[in-house]
Amino acid sequence: MRVLIAPDCFGGTLTAREAADAIATGWHEAKPDDVVVQRPLADGGPGFVDVLHAATGGDIRYVTVTGPLGEPVEARWLSVHTDGPDATGRHVAYIESAEACGLHLIPKELRPQVCETATTRGVGELIAAAVASGTDADDNDVIPAGASRVDVVIVGLGGSGTTDGGAGMLAALAEADDGAGVDLTGVSLVAASDVENPLLGPHGAARTFGPQKGASPEAVERLEAKLAAMDVLEPVSDISGAGAAGGLGAALLSLGATVTSGAGLVRELTGLDAALDDADVVVTGEGSFDWQSLRGKLITAVAGGAAERGIPCVAVAGQVSVGRREMGAAGVQEAYSVSEHVGSVQKAMEEARDSLVTTASHVANQWSR
C-alpha cells in the first residue's frame, strides 16, 4: 500500500518535516511493508522557507533583522533561480514573515503586554535584503555581491505575533538605503496566504486574530481603531486576505502585491499532485484541526486533491474540534486527536514526537489494508 504523508507544522512543537517524519515512523512501525512518501507542507506560515528549500534546492540567505519586540533576530529568505518560458529565467525570493514577526518569538507571558506594540519591521528588512542582493553594494557578506536582481518577492503570511497593519514593514522599506527607500521598480510582490479575512470588522485582523496574540477585548478595539486610522490601507481594506498576519496582507496589497494561495503554491512546488496520483491513502495534519482549518487552509487543499482522485484522506492533529459532517464536507474521512490518544494535551505537547509516532501507528492499523 502506498501512503502519502503531507502535514503542516504542529504549532510550536514540530516543524512540518519533523511531523512528517514522526507520522512516517509510526506508520512503518505498524505496517513495515507499506511504501511511505513524505511531502511536508506549509501554507505561508511557519515552515514555509524550510519546505520550499527542500522542494526547490534554492539557497538560504541569513539576515539579522528587527524582531517583533524590537530585538535583533536571525531570519532567513530563500533565493531560487527558475527557468522561464522565454529561457531567461527569474530570480525569486521567498520570505517567511513569521521568521521576523512570528508569535513564537514572543514569550507567552509577555503577549498581553506587547500585543499593541509588536512590529513587522523585520519583514521589511528581509524584503530590503532580498531586493538588495542583486546590487553591487552588498553590506551582508552572507549574500554574494553581483547576484542577479530579484524579480519576484513572495512573502508567506501566517503565524504572526503582530497586529500593526504592516506599519513596521512599510517604515523599514521607506527608511532603507539611508532613507532613499527600497526601489521596487520591476519587482513583483506576492502575498502567499490562505486567510480570506478583510482588514477590519468582525472578521478582520484585530477582532479575529488579536485574542490569539494576547489581546484583551479592550486591546482588540484599540488595535481595530489603529488599523482603521491607517489611511494607506483604506483602499485595500476590504480585499480578501488584507487581514492576514495582523494586517500585513493589507500593507503588501498597498504596495501593489497580488495574492496567491500559500497552500496552492507549496502544493505545486513540492510536487504534491504527482505524489497524490500514486497514493492509496493520504495522511495530513496540523497542531489544531479547527474551524479555521476549513477556510481554505492546507488540510483542505490536501483533502481536496485526494477527493479529486477518489483517495481517502485522514487527518492527525494535536487537537480536533471539527465535527464529522464538517470534516467530511472538506474531504477528510476521519480525524485523530493526538492529545486524546495519549491522554492529555500536556503530554502531547511535552512529548510531541513520541505522541505523534504512537498515534500514527494507531492510524496505520485502522487504514492500511
Annotated domain spans of the chain:
2-40+270-367, 48-263
What are residue 78's DSSP bridge partners? 60, 94
Query: What is the value of pTM for the model shown?
Result: 0.88
In the predicted structure, residue 140 carries a pLDDT above the cut 50: no
Q: How far is Cα 264 from Cα 193, in angstroms, rounded to an integer? A: 9
Q: What's the pLDDT at 246? A: 98
Kindly indicate whether the domain formed by 2-40+270-367 is annotated with CATH number 3.30.70.141: no
Mean pLDDT value of segment 123-147: 68
Estimate the share of the chain in helix, then strand, then coil, as percent rounded to the nearest 5: 45, 20, 40
Pick the range with the lowest mean pLDDT from 23-32, 194-203, 214-223, 263-272: 263-272
User: pLDDT tens digits, residue range 33-66?
Assistant: 999 999 999 888 889 999 999 999 899 999 999 9
User: pLDDT tens digits, residue range 234-245?
Assistant: 999 999 999 999
Q: What's the pLDDT at 141? A: 42
Candidate ranges 11-20, 127-136, 211-220; pick with highest mean pLDDT: 211-220
Q: What's the pLDDT at 144? A: 46
CB of 281 closer than 8 Å to CB of 4: yes
Q: What's the pLDDT at 137? A: 41
Amino acid at 78: L
Q: What's the pLDDT at 30? A: 97
CA 247 from chain centre, in angstroms, equals: 15
Q: How far is Cα 190 from Cα 150, in angstroms, rounded to an integer? A: 13
Q: What's the pLDDT at 322? A: 87
User: pLDDT tens digits, residue range 278-318?
Assistant: 999 999 999 988 877 776 568 888 998 999 999 999 999 99
Nearest to 68 by CA among 109, 128, 123: 123
Question: For the structural domain made of 48-263, what CATH number should be given?
Answer: 3.90.1510.10
Q: What's the pLDDT at 215? A: 98
Q: What's the pLDDT at 88? A: 57
Return the C-alpha cell found at 50: 524550510
Q: How far is Cα 101 from Cα 241, in angstroms, rounded to an integer? A: 18
Q: What is the largest CA-CA distance in the chain?
A: 64
CB of 293 closer than 8 Å to CB of 323: no
In the predicted structure, residue 145 carries a pLDDT above the cut 60: no
Q: What's the pLDDT at 62? A: 97
CA 216 from chain centre, in angstroms, equals: 25
Cα 56 to Cα 250, 266, 271, 337, distances in angstroms: 28, 10, 10, 32
Task: Round the average pLDDT of the chain to a whole number and report it.
Answer: 92
What are residue 191's DSSP bridge partners? 155, 259
User: pLDDT tens digits, residue range 80-133?
Assistant: 988 755 545 789 999 999 999 999 999 999 999 999 999 999 999 999 999 998
Mean pLDDT value of segment 127-150: 65
